[in-house]
Amino acid sequence: MSKPSSTASNWAEELAKFLREQPAVTAVRIDPAARKLEFATMGRVELGDLESRLAATIAAIEEKLGAQHAAPAGYSLKTQGRAVVLGRQSCETAEKLWLWREMEWPELKAEPTAEEEEWRSLAIFAAVCGAAGLAGLACKVGLSGYPWLYRLLFGIGLVAGGWDATIDTWKNLRKRQVDIHLLMLAVAAGAVCIDAWGEAVLLLFLFSAAGAMEEYSLYRTHREVGALLKTSPKRAVRLNSGGVEQEVAVEELRVGNRVRVKPGEAFAADGTVVKGRSASDESALTGEAVPVPKDPGDPVFSGTINLWGAVDFEVLRLPSESTLQKIIRLIQTAQKLKAPSERFTDRFGTGYTYLVFGGATAMFLFWWLGLGLPAFENAPGVRSAFYRAMTLMVVASPCALVLSIPSAILAAIAWGARHGVLFRGGAAIEKLAEVDAVALDKTGTLTTGELAVVGCESFPAGREPQILELAYALEMKSQHPIARAIVRHAKASAVKPIEIEEFQSLTGQGVKGRLDGATLMLGRRELLEVGPLAEWARALPPASPELSEVWVIGRDLVGRILLKDEIRAESRAVLRRLKTAGVKTIMLTGDRRHAAEAVAVELGLDEVRSGLSPEDKVRAIQGLKEAGHTVAMVGDGVNDAPCLAAADVGVAMGARGSDAALEQAEVILMHDRIENFISAQRLSRRARSVIRMNLAISLGVVVVMVIATAFGAVPLAIGVGAHEGSTVIVCLNSLRLLFGKNA
């Protein structure tokens, strides 16, 4: 089940929000597996941009559609086969009148849309506004005898600078909503009324320039996704059963197909090398420019480039479920999920706009009726009440405040996407900065996860071949690191496969099956200690501390496979840097105590807890949180998924991470680069610092300028410059995250 709304909005609530905004739509039917999308209306309606809005909503919640959620108030949630239907509550008779329309499932687009490139048009409008304003100012000074000329030029500037704001304001007014765009237009119109044409043009120029800068920040984030999409191959060379090459579209590839990739070509899907040797450029996924050697048995990833040798690989995942496509979906989801502080600014924005309008009106009446200032005419040395009210509206507008958080979050997401760190949204960036305890799984996280069989024992001795044979039979269909090691060793030893029946996974314990009516089990030592062999099992010798063991139990056969896992070369440096930063490190592992403690001592972990089941790991995470720690959990396996969900921040190893782990994680470290955790944490702390700076700048300017305006000490031009200048500074400050170094 998906993580609750702490990581992302309840998808049913998001869909209900769409229905509330679209009264013509009565229900939506979604089948994620078949990628089928339908919506229902009562009779024929004008579609307009309804389909694009629904597509955007589905794209934002696609990662969470499998989760179980209760129906929002006023709506019903039903299951129809594999599809789910969310609709307005109604009687069965009304539902029979619904007219269903099918639409295309929202597809990923390789190029930025026109909307994403809006910053270009905004920049052009801002440039025209600025040029016209400068020309008008020159005419006003040099050709004062022709007032119509400078007013014409100022008018051109006003149209260019206010064009986009006018369109947005009109759309919002039709929905009975107001925002800062209306505020800016009102101030500009008021400035013209008191013959302050230059100030009006300056306001709209800075406002449109700040808007262009905001859109540019968003565009840069989308461009990172576009760069990934361009690496996605469109064609592949598939080998048939006779080894004959056949060029096909990547969509035609199936799991188990063998694909040939020549030098300079991209791998079309995730898979495993079965023939040939080469190296791949995986910088598109990880940001790492060093080529990665590829030999038989090594994994390859969709979108990475084969550098020098011809390679045949077996497809392990469909192209649509490849690592590359998951990355793209994660980034797109992250861009739509807002941080808690960002949602706060969204909520208060409309109310604040009303407050500014009301405050300016009240102050106008106070200055005019209470202090006796001129209502509209500026006297020598005395600014009118209306002039002061316009200035107050400018300096109190929340433009910079509203942009201070989303601009930083978007820039941070973009930097992470380019350097192998994927965030599921702004909440993950904010929470990771607060982490003071990191829990880590051992196998596949602190170690490479690629175990090697170093021994096989039977009790009593002499039946080692049968032990390996049964272990191979039980693990041949699994993808767990222990299973992969046993299968590799068995194949290398020419062990013949045996078909077993009633195969079953024992979560956190092992696997079992039946052969010739007898039960077979493979797993942890505890499997022996809870049955009739308990007393005998306690006397069995433990494995060496540096080795892992997996026990095999048959009808009249007991033995174990001994394996060794290599510690990641980067783990020591990562843990040392965490300790230097004052972060507590804890290993949570299902492995036995001796093996876990040997790794913990070698790496210098603060604490180690071994022999844990998934439930034990969750309790350990909850205990750390109850002790006052903000906890990040780093893992990669199915058994890590529950504690990833329980932690304040779940972090998954991206290359070998299970789908369950990736689903629960809020941060993904691509290519299993654990050192990227340090980069992610440094980035989150920089983002938090930038957000605080942005808030201090925006709030500070508003407070100072409002007080100064209340005493009549601020001309409109200065108010415009201070307000819009703070907006530009906030955007520029956020862009530092996009171009800075966080390693």
**Would you name the residues annotated as active-site residues?**
441
Distance CA 182, CA 303 (A): 46
- Can you give the three-state secondary structure of 78-132, one letter per residue? EEECCEEEEEECCCHHHHHCEEEEEECCCCCCCCCCCCCCHHHHHHHHHHHHHHH
Q: What angle do CA 305, 311, 313 make, to 5 degrees?
A: 95
Among residues 717, 726, 588, 580, the alpha carbon closest in space to that of 647 is found at 588
Residues with Cβ within 8 Å of residue 659, at least 6 apart in sequence = none
Q: What angle do CA 636, 511, 610 make, to 5 degrees?
A: 50
End-to-end CA, the chain: 33
**Cβ contact 281:305 at 8 Å:** yes
**Cβ contact 201:136 at 8 Å:** yes
Distance CA 321, CA 67 (A): 18
Residues with Cβ within 8 Å of residue 568, at least 6 apart in sequence = 446, 447, 448, 674
Distance CA 702, CA 719 (A): 10
Complete DSSP assignment for 563-616:
EE-PBPTTHHHHHHHHHHTT-EEEEE-SS-HHHHHHHHHHHT-SEEE-S--HHH
Complete DSSP assignment for 152-201:
HHHHHHHHHHHHHHHHHHHHHHHTT---HHHHHHHHHHHHHHTT-HHHHH
For 601-734, list the strands marked E by DSSP. Answer: 607-609, 631-635, 649-653, 667-669
Q: Which residues of 667-694 are buried (b: 16+ CB within 10 A; e: fewer)?
A: bbbbbbbbbbbbbbbbbbbbbbebbebb
**Cβ contact 180:353 at 8 Å:** yes
From residue 136, give the alpha-carbon distance in Å to each of 133, 196, 198, 711: 5, 12, 8, 31
Distance, C-alpha 41 to centroid of its chain = 33
Q: What angle do CA 572, 573, 577 make, to 5 degrees?
A: 120
Using CB atoms within 10 A of its CB, is residue 264 exposed (0-12), middle (13-18) or buried (19+)? Answer: exposed
37 forms beta bridges with 30, 103
Q: Is 76 helix (H, G, I), strand (E, B) or coil?
A: strand
226 sits in which H/E element: helix 197-230
The greatest distance separating any two alpha carbons of the chain, rounded to the nearest whole angstrom, comes to 112
Among residues 607, 661, 672, 612, the alpha carbon closest in space to that of 636 is found at 661
Please report the sign of the dihedral spanned by the C-alpha atoms of residue 470, residue 476, residue 477, residue 479. positive
**Cβ contact 375:193 at 8 Å:** no
Q: What angle do CA 108, 109, 111 make, to 5 degrees?
A: 155
Secondary structure tally for the chain: helices H, strands E? 25, 27
